[in-house]
Amino acid sequence: MTMDINYSPLGFLISLFFIVTFLAPQVKSRAFYVFGDSLVDNGNNDYLVTTARADNYPYGIDYPTRRPTGRFSNGLNIPDIISEAIGMPSTLPYLSPQLTGENLLVGANFASAGIGILNDTGIQFKLYELGARRVLVTGTGAMGCAPAELAQHSRNGECYGALQTAAALFNPRLVDLIASVNAEIGQDVFVAANAYQMNMDYLSNPEQFGGKEYKGSLLRHSADTEM
């Protein structure tokens, strides 16, 4: 069964969220491809002329090297955790000069911070026709809790309510949209992940996930629970 994804809303999904792609089950080797924005960028923006960079302290403070890696994280990010779970090394940035030879067989990370939400980004990828059978689509995270929003709109560490409300309204609609796309395909290819709820679960109870809370809103991750 084939599918043409050169249309909205699927193109919108692919451009807005990061996408995890596994090759079809009949292929012995698996590859892992990541598309998205700063949530899953692992260094592509370090090779671009842009202000959206994660190449300074405190980024990477809990990474094994204790140095910035281009990830917008204190340590590992979501694709790294998934790579570990499936027994593969982390994918390299698409722009990395090391992405050659055997490294290409592992997959690649195409994510770039600030990539935007334009429909014309995703129409280049006919993932289903190329063998993708599992695509993970993350919803909008806790946008009101982002450091930039806290700096502009918060005086006591509380997340910015307007953006939190927008995320809470958007994510259920995303789930409905994914369900309709899967129904059209006839298979559960696309899987929704509630990034907002995951963020809020951690913020409300960091100890449960190996973190610590101090100064009201700042979180410190333990070395074995970087995200």
38: annotated active-site residue: yes
Cβ-Cβ contacts under 8 Å for 59 (sequence gap 6 or more): 68, 69, 71, 72, 73, 74
The residue from 38, 83, 90, 96 that is catalytic is 38
In whole angstroms, give the CA distance from residue 51 to residue 200.
Answer: 28
Q: Read off φ and ψ for residue 35, nearest 5 degrees.
A: -125, 135
| The two three-digit tokens of residue 226, written as one number | 């970087």
* H/E segment holding residue 220: strand 218-221
Question: To the nearest 5 percent, what fractions of the chain are helix, strand and coil?
Answer: 35, 15, 55
Cis before 89? omega within 30: no
* H/E segment holding residue 192: strand 190-193
Residue with tokens 């700096």: 151
Catalytic residues: 38
